[in-house]
Amino acid sequence: MGELTIAKSAGFCFGVTRAVNMVYEAIEKENVPIYTYGPIIHNDEVVKDMEKNGVTVINDLDELSSHEKGVMIIRSHGISKAEYDRIKNCGFEVLNATCPFVSKIHRYVEDYSSKGYDIIIVGSPKHPEVCGIKGWADEKCHVTIINSPEDAENYMKNSTKKLCIVSQTTFNYNKFQDIVEIIAKKGYDITVLNTICNATEVRQTEARKVAQCSDVMIVIGDRHSSNTQKLFEICKNECKNTYYIQTSDEMGYTQIRSNNNVGITAGASTPNNIIEEVSKNVRNEL
């Protein structure tokens, strides 16, 4: 008979829990329209439930003028300083659900860029967290986004300024170390701030260990979730039978044999009820 191992770190992280709770608390307390700027977290199931409870997602600030004033909740990924100021200036009450670990990066970038540093952000260029971080740099600062060792190899500093290197909170820790090492060898004057969330490191390390001991590995999370995508990459390297699903319905449980060892992990925006449903269905096959 096979065994099921569920990663202890699977599911909501601190920042996501905080953001989701802020929205539901606002739903209970506020008597004005409630909006989120962008999806509050990267999980369609959670966002759909909030919409059922009257929350409206605003994806473009040009939409603000066509909506009744109310409470605007800033997504957990954070936004740029200019976006934050624009929302306030439009007369909305702002609740900031930005993950505190992301807000810390905003302060680093604002501080170091004001001191004359150029900034390197290690992360996915189009990810909302990275776009938000970039928007806290001083206008005179040059910001470069690096997503791969190849990007790092090709990077050439075009000024005499010092460099401050930060990272997207959910970036692969080992990959970040490789990128920093490549840039350091270029001889630039650099300050490295490892801003990868500790929970991300723990989640990735645990996922790797579970996958190494599994015949089948299931990674649960939204298709747009950067941290879930990275978990899938890590697990796939250790277990060829790794499946990436968003809901339980997407998993073909008949592929699991009774003698399989099955591992489950989940992204930081995955609700516990989905993890529990997948686990129950796996146990039925074992």
Which residues participate in catalysis according to the annotation?
A: 129
- The secondary element (H helix, E strand) that includes residue 164 is strand 163-167
Tokens of 230: 């990275």
Q: Which residues pair with 5 in a beta bridge?
A: 263
The whole-angstrom separation of Cα 201 and Cα 255 is: 30
What type of residue sits at position 7?
A
Q: Which residues pair with 121 in a beta bridge?
A: 145, 166
Contact call for residues 22 and 98 (beta carbons, < 8 A): no
What type of residue sits at position 195?
T
Tokens of 186: 């270029």
Contact call for residues 179 and 149 (beta carbons, < 8 A): yes
Tokens of 108: 């680093």
Distance, CA of 122 to chain centre? 13
Q: Given the structure tokens 């994806």, which residue do they identify?
A: 59
